[in-house]
Structure 1
Amino acid sequence: MAGDVGGQGLHDALVILGAAGVVIPAFARVRISPVIGFILVGAAIGPAGLGRLADAYPWLGPLTIDDRARIEPFAEIGILMLLFGIGLELSFRRLWAMRRRVIGLGGAQMLLSGLLVGAGAMLLGGLSPGASLILGLALAMSSTAIVMPLAGTGTATGRTALAILLLQDLSLVPLLFLLDAKGGPEALATTLAGGIVMLAGLLVAGRVLLPRLFAQAARTKNPELFLAISLLVLMLACLATGAVGLGAAAGALIAGLLIAETDYHAEVEVITAPLRGLALGIFLITVGMRLDLAALAADWPALLAATAALLLVKAAVIFALARWRRLRTGTALEASLLMASPSELTLIVLASALAAGVLSGPTVAFWTLVTALGLTLTPLLAALGKRMARRVDPQALSSGASDTAGKTIIFGFGRVGRIVADMMAEHGRPYFAVDGDIDCVAAARAEGYQVLFGDVARGDAVERFHLSEAAALVLTMDDPVLTVRLSRDARDACPDLSIIARARDGAHAAQLYKAGATDAVPETMEGSLQMSEAVLVDIGVAMGPVIASIHEKRSQLRAAIREEGELVEEPMLGRRR
């Protein structure tokens, strides 16, 4: 029996991982959100799809899953990783900075949408007031995992969506707390007290221990150690919240928040991104398995009507609130369509409500199908909203300011990076530096420099640091291969960005020019020019002619290097991916 269970578990894992391996590259190639692909694959390979035919056609067995209960652990892991990623995006400081928009816009949307949807469920579905309210609040949520990659944070629409989503994500904790609490007022008070003590303990431990743990991991230059510490924090937080009755989901969110408060959150986001993406894909496959095509065919009028009504109510509420906050018409229109669908968190609340006896099995099954349909429609609604917003108000889609907008970004903060930062400060120009040496970062920040810990060799540096909005990019790392690669990536993504790169010698500078650098500064050339200037001044040549001749010689050498770069067919250093 144990062998059969283990064999079935391995089979299910291979099917899910194989489906993820097909969906991600296939849908990326046609530039369609893989969310739709994951849900459709789940519907196809699940017990309500081809899985029900496996007995009649044995060759389908290795390609399908015939029991959804076996893959629930995969779905739970996906949910925990999803909430962990949400916590990484938040941080207490970010919440405080956005408190007015989060509470005003996000709180109003959650309350109004929840009341309207709940009232409709109570009048048409015959639910009790308490059950209707829980259902309305669950359906009022929108998908952070789908919406934010589609909207980003560099537009007015993205910032509006973020404010609403932050409130929704935070509301998940008290909702789950109320649903999971058992035993009446006394048990509720005990759980609340235990939760407060546990949260205080996690905050203290996170502030004291996490920086030291991640600092040691940073010194080892070992990304696997970063991942291991992150997963350890996630596991311990889930165990702590589960022990006091809050549930593992709350612990996953708190774990992300704790790491978001450290200086290493950006690195943790990059290192855990593949795992979180895979976990989300697995979760969405399980969502697709909830799409019972037979049930849809049997009750399609009611399901389509409920889905359409939910989308219209939420879109109307978000549009009205956005206009009330004096946002542009195009921004309000795009945000309302983008966030009209339910959320993956809706499924978490529905499952908790079913376990608590607040909602019945048929009710949860019906609204689970509605949620799955809504999640499938989210990318399509986002595209429709963007197109309509462009027609109504073209300026609504213009980019907004990010944390690095208008700043000079310095990659590498050794002796060269520090000098560049000093000169930027001397002339009153804002800058933002990134370095992968935690000791260097700590020393620089103690001296007042604006430096963030991060390894620019991993992940998409262009996207992570919003290089498209930067004033210039300065590459000072003593790694010629990485410098060439970053120059090429930044130039491909940002044709108008000024890229100034440190080069070892003339040959390296030629490669940098070919890769797209605006200026490449060879150390050997600059050292020779400075020595020549010192010699000429010391032997009595006037400073003015010396400086003029040095500038002229530098221009000649750069022109020769540029010409050499144009003639080089392939960089000698090659590429490192």
Structure 2
Amino acid sequence: MAGESAEEHGGGHGLTGELLLDGFILLGAALAFVLLFRRIGLGAVLGYLIAGIVVGPFGLGLIESGESILAVAEIGIVLLLFLVGLELAPARLWRLRRDIFGLGLLQVVVSGVAITGLVLAGTSFTVAAAIAIGMALALSSTAQVLPLLQSEGRLNTPLGERAFSVLLFQDLSIVPLLTLVAVLSRAPADPGAPPGWLLAIYAVVAIVGLVAAGRFVLSPLLNLVGRFAERELFIVTGLFTVFAAAALMDALGLSMALGAFVAGVMLANSPYRHELEADVDPFRSILLGLFFLAVGMMLDVGVVLAEPLFVIGMAAALVATKVAVIFGLAMLFGVKARAAFVMGLLLSQGGEFAFVLFAEAERALLVTETATSLFGAVVTLSMATTPFLMALAKRFGGVKASTRDDLDGPDAAPPAGAIVVGHGRFGQTVSQMLMGANIPVTLIDSKPDQIDLSGEFGRKVYYGDGLRVDLLREAGGDEARAILFCNDGTGLDEERLEAIRMAFPKTKILGRAFDRRHLLAMGEGELDGAFREVLESAIAMARKAMELVDLDETLIDRVEEEFRKRDCDRLAMQREEGDMHAGAEMSFGGPESLDFDGAEPR
């Protein structure tokens, strides 16, 4: 028994060591290639793909199999669809129904028919095999397109919504496409497999069940977790929700990603939505990177080298065909020519679900293992073209250039007594008065031009979306005594403020209202103070912040009086000299005269 136990113990260490070594190789290769490809402007996805090719069984052979890694990494796609669902409240999803079931359906059918014709023309496949391959290639890469739209802030734009609608229908179409492959199959029928109509009923029942569970089980559970304000419990609850919904769909033979998406939609109206998004997103990021590593590892370089012209030609034909089809359909649905072309470029690649359909077609005896490898290479190569096509799309104004990498994020900020979000005309006044009272301030703004302008006046402003809970936490929101929202009001509503309030229950929260309607939209009870435009409201907000952090009333009056005097003197100098930089040294927090005599550090 002792010998057996020791042997088992040693075997466990061997497995652990192997996993650690594989992880070291994969992450090291990913780090090197992603850094390189980011540096030369080709994006992270291509870096992951090349890293996977290099270390995989068909490259240097440092990792033996990509299939097992792909099985784990597909959880990244599941988490991605959950996060997308969080962005889509049921009312908004209903608004997109025309694009989902109109444009999405037409894209899958028309692209599938056109690509089936390409496969028939370029191979000796049977019609059944060409249909199975063609319909699989009609699908695009959700794992590649959605992170791109999210990172560029375009998911909620008309272009982003239409692209997402097509991708969502593609995911919904997995079940009927698998049924189509089963109908075309030359393999003996599986007596235990449910018919397609039964799968459709399962899907409807499962979705209804998930919605009911979200309303009557998950919402009360989140309210209970929210009382403890423990971030770890939010992470566990979020992952539990995703895995439970995905496992239910998988058990019914349906798409795991669809289940995760429904779970996200269930929580889209929850006040905890932003907290869940911040907690789940890091897992999504690393697993999606692992997914593209696995896709690269599965690329059979030998097959590509045996027929390079076919692979390259078919990949080019695939991209061109999908661009043309999507361009035409988008124009038909009222999209302007430029945006329609960009949408075609966005969705032109093959998708991750093609690998699933290829495997089913092989089991159905429709295609050989060599053909599966060959068209897998076509999909991988088409994915590799996406960064280059996105560079082309930027020339047409459809995709914003990558965010600048020379701006520091709030995680680089030192601890501060107050966080000021937005450093425009309002935020400048508020922050100066707080600085005049010697309260350390962290400044955050999402506009690079504004950050550059503030830098000319000696202000250090950190780049980021200050309405995000995770970013505020990085900026020190848990330790700050006050958070002041001085931006133009875009996105600052009751739901967002409720999430921020729950994340930072001990921090005083003040907000700027653009006008009366915006003040009403922010609701009651979520702010310790709400102030409308412009100078006087900024001064009042700064006074309120100083009162809440227990500054002496006399000091507050002196700061306000001195600020008004300096502001008037500076305004006179600017008028006289015709230069906005005139008198910059006179303001609180300026390059010179940073402090106000009599104010003690807080």
The TM-score with structure 2 as length reference comes to: 0.64
Shift of 1:46: 0.8
Shift of 1:193: 4.1
Which of 219, 224, 229 is the equivalent residue of 2:227? 219
> 1:84-105, CA deviations, whole angstroms, 9 ceiling, x for partnerless residues?
4444444543321111122222
- Find the counterpart in structure 2 of residue 323 from structure 1: 331
> 1:52-72, CA deviations, whole angstroms, 9 ceiling, x for partnerless residues?
xxxxxxxxxxxx213334534
- What secondary structure is seen at the aligned counterpart in 2 of 1:564? coil
Matched, 1:144 2:153: no
- Find the counterpart in structure 2 of residue 81 from structure 1: 79
Which blocks of at least 5 consecutive residues in structure 2 are unaligned? Answer: 1-10, 183-188, 402-419, 422-466, 477-484, 513-526, 530-534, 555-559, 571-585
Aligned pairs (5 A) from 1:173-212: 173-176=175-178, 182-183=190-191, 187-212=195-220
- Find the counterpart in structure 2 of residue 564 from structure 1: 588
Whole-angstrom distance in 1 between the partners of 2:323 and 2:306:
28
Instruction: Rate the CA distance shift 1:371–1:196 in 2: closer, same or farther, 3 A.
Output: same
Whole-angstrom distance in 2 between the partners of 1:357 and 1:223:
50
- Find the counterpart in structure 2 of residue 423 from structure 1: none
Aligned pairs (5 A) from 1:391-410: none
Whole-angstrom distance in 1 between the partners of 2:44 and 2:588:
44
Matched, 1:41 2:51: yes
Shift of 1:356: 4.9
Which of 256, 259, 266 is the equivalent residue of 1:258? 266
Whole-angstrom distance in 1 between the partners of 2:132 and 2:486:
43
Whole-angstrom distance in 1 between the partners of 2:203 and 2:54:
41
Which of 520, 523, 536 is the equivalent residue of 2:544? 523
> 1:317-347, CA deviations, whole angstroms, 9 ceiling, x for partnerless residues?
1111222233222212222222211122322
Shift of 1:4: 4.1
- Find the counterpart in structure 1 of residue 171 from structure 2: 169
- What secondary structure is seen at the aligned counterpart in 1 of 2:328? helix
Which of 544, 552, 555 is the equivalent residue of 2:564? 555
The answer to which of 15-24 and 197-206 deviates more is 15-24
Report the AA paired with residue 123 of structure 2. Answer: G
- Find the counterpart in structure 1 of residue 521 from structure 2: none
Whole-angstrom distance in 1 between the partners of 2:379 and 2:491:
44
Which structure's residues are more often helix, by fraction? 1
- Find the counterpart in structure 2 of residue 368 from structure 1: 376
Quick check: 1:503–1:520 contact (8 Å CA) kept in 2?
no
- Find the counterpart in structure 1 of residue 243 from structure 2: 235
Instruction: Rate the CA distance shift 1:86–1:553 in 2: closer, same or farther, 3 A.
Output: closer
Quick check: 2:33–2:50 contact (8 Å CA) kept in 1?
no
> 1:147-175, CA deviations, whole angstroms, 9 ceiling, x for partnerless residues?
23434235553343233223223323443
Whole-angstrom distance in 2 between the partners of 1:471 and 1:245:
42
- What secondary structure is seen at the aligned counterpart in 2 of 1:49? coil
Aligned pairs (5 A) from 1:22-101: 22-24=32-34, 27-28=37-38, 31-51=41-61, 64-101=62-99
Whole-angstrom distance in 2 between the partners of 1:354 and 1:206:
38
Shift of 1:27: 4.5
- What secondary structure is seen at the aligned counterpart in 1 of 2:542? strand
Quick check: 1:173–1:250 contact (8 Å CA) kept in 2?
no
Report the AA paired with residue 157 of structure 1. Answer: L
- Find the counterpart in structure 1 of residue 573 from structure 2: none
Whole-angstrom distance in 1 between the partners of 2:491 and 2:212:
39
- What secondary structure is seen at the aligned counterpart in 2 of 1:330? helix
Which of 88, 105, 122 is the equivalent residue of 2:103? 105
- Find the counterpart in structure 1 of residue 317 from structure 2: 309
Quick check: 1:144–1:343 contact (8 Å CA) kept in 2?
yes
Matched, 1:457 2:472: yes
Aligned pairs (5 A) from 1:375-390: 375-387=383-395, 389=396
- What secondary structure is seen at the aligned counterpart in 2 of 1:231? helix
The TM-score with structure 1 as length reference comes to: 0.66
Whole-angstrom distance in 2 between the partners of 1:18 and 1:573:
49
Which of 264, 272, 279 is the equivalent residue of 1:271? 279
Aligned residues: 458
Quick check: 1:82–1:279 contact (8 Å CA) kept in 2?
no
Shift of 1:132: 3.0
Shift of 1:471: 5.3
The answer to which of 21-30 and 39-48 deviates more is 21-30
Whole-angstrom distance in 2 between the partners of 1:482 and 1:23:
42
Q: Percent of aligned pairs with the same residue? A: 32
Instruction: Rate the CA distance shift 1:7–1:356 in 2: closer, same or farther, 3 A.
Output: farther
Instruction: Rate the CA distance shift 1:251–1:472 in 2: closer, same or farther, 3 A.
Output: closer
Which blocks of at least 5 consecutive residues in structure 1 are unaligned? Answer: 52-63, 391-395, 400-409, 412-451, 488-501, 505-512, 533-550
Quick check: 2:79–2:280 contact (8 Å CA) kept in 1?
no
> 1:160-192, CA deviations, whole angstroms, 9 ceiling, x for partnerless residues?
323322322332344356668953896445544
Quick check: 1:24–1:34 contact (8 Å CA) kept in 2?
yes
Quick check: 1:226–1:268 contact (8 Å CA) kept in 2?
yes
**CA RMSD of superposed structures (Å):** 4.7
Instruction: Rate the CA distance shift 1:560–1:259 in 2: closer, same or farther, 3 A.
Output: farther
Whole-angstrom distance in 2 between the partners of 1:141 and 1:175:
11
Instruction: Rate the CA distance shift 1:28–1:473 in 2: closer, same or farther, 3 A.
Output: farther
Aligned pairs (5 A) from 1:337-352: 337-352=345-360
Report the AA paired with residue 167 of structure 1. Answer: F
Whole-angstrom distance in 2 between the partners of 1:524 and 1:66:
60
Instruction: Rate the CA distance shift 1:114–1:360 in 2: closer, same or farther, 3 A.
Output: same
Shift of 1:229: 1.1
Report the AA paired with residue 384 of structure 2. Answer: T
Matched, 1:114 2:123: no
Whole-angstrom distance in 2 between the partners of 1:271 and 1:252:
15
